[in-house]
Structure 1
Amino acid sequence: MHFYSLTTRGFYSSDIHGDAIPEDAVQITAERYTELLDSLSSGQTIMLDDDGHLVTVEAVLTDAQRRASMRLLRDSRLDETDWMIVRHRDEVDIGRATTLSVDQFTTLLAYRQALRDLPEQDGFPSGMAPPPPNFLVPVLDRLR
């Protein structure tokens, strides 16, 4: 399950964060999670409407706020793939066949590095986060 907290302006997953989800966090579907992330990356902000539903609105954000929003998106995308890195390294360490091929693992590392380098790119924070590699899309869709 996914959640969004207005207090922290952060996304949470019950699988990752367990009981450490803020009390004000609102449960959202995997589809809504993806929609909200995409909205944040396009410069919108998340707030509650009069009925208590999360909505996105065009925001006039300061440069610092846009930077923070893009970093939030970047950090969320890194969190989504942490487990794949750990699993691959564990499989290598115990001598087991790896789930990811060498090329997939290298591509995953390059994707994660591109996310980390995002704040250093020209035009940051106006640019878009790099898209995940094609082999990750179905995996991430199942997780979201």
Structure 2
Amino acid sequence: MKTYIEFDEQGVLRARLIGGLHNIPEGAVEVSDELWSQTIQENDGTWRIDSEGSIVKHPAVEDLDVDTSERAWRDGQLNATQWLVARYNEERSLELTTSNTLEQYSELLEYRQRLRDWPASEGFPDSEQRPEAPLWTVIQNQ
């Protein structure tokens, strides 16, 4: 019995196949029974083939955990600036002099919108691509 592994365009294991039982597509790699079994038993990572034809398991990257962590950071930033929005609106409603200028308030609203849009952006969830808060909000939140 011959065993094969098929890889996708990125070199990630797509399918394990058995000769005579499955149609073996062009590009599938014949592997030892031992490696074939290992790819089934060791499913705590991603099996890949490199440019030299070596098949190795890469540690699992928990994209969901990164996404969840970055969304939690984003939600924290929205919560941390909510009081600034509320204060400005309350001061306006009471016809008081506002603690922040209209320009600062607009910057704050734009920042908060960038936070909301961030998960759908190309840079998400790279923490280096996080929206930057206006400097004055950082100072007021300390």
Structure 1 runs of 4+ with >2 Å offset: none
Output the CA distance in 1 between the equivalents of 2:82 and 2:69: 20
- 2:138 paired with 1:130: no
Which structure has greater helix proportion? 1
Output the CA distance in 2 between the equivalents of 1:72 and 1:61: 18
- My pick for the range that moved more, 127-136 or 78-87, is 127-136
Q: Deviations over 1:2-46 (max 9, x none)?
A: xxxxxxxxxxxxxxxxxxxxxxxxxxxxxxxxxxxxxxxxxxxxx
Unpaired runs of at least 5, structure 1: 1-59
Higher RCO, Cα 8 Å, sep 6+: 1
* Alpha-carbon shift at residue 99 of structure 1 (Å): 0.7
The residue number in structure 1 matching 2:9 is none
The residue number in structure 2 matching 1:107 is 107
The residue number in structure 1 matching 2:93 is 93
- TM-score, length-scaled by structure 2: 0.54
* Alpha-carbon shift at residue 126 of structure 1 (Å): 2.1
Q: Which amino acid aligns with 2:94?
A: I
- What is the aligned-residue identity percentage? 33
Q: Which amino acid aligns with 2:136?
A: F
Unpaired runs of at least 5, structure 2: 1-59
Q: Deviations over 1:88-125 (max 9, x none)?
A: 00011111111110000000000011011110101321
Output the CA distance in 2 between the equivalents of 1:92 and 1:103: 14
* Alpha-carbon shift at residue 137 of structure 1 (Å): 2.1
- TM-score, length-scaled by structure 1: 0.53
Change (3 A) 1:69 1:61: farther
The residue number in structure 2 matching 1:30 is none
Q: Deviations over 1:118-142 (max 9, x none)?
A: 10101321253212102112112x2
The residue number in structure 1 matching 2:78 is 78
Output the CA distance in 2 between the equivalents of 1:79 and 1:129: 16
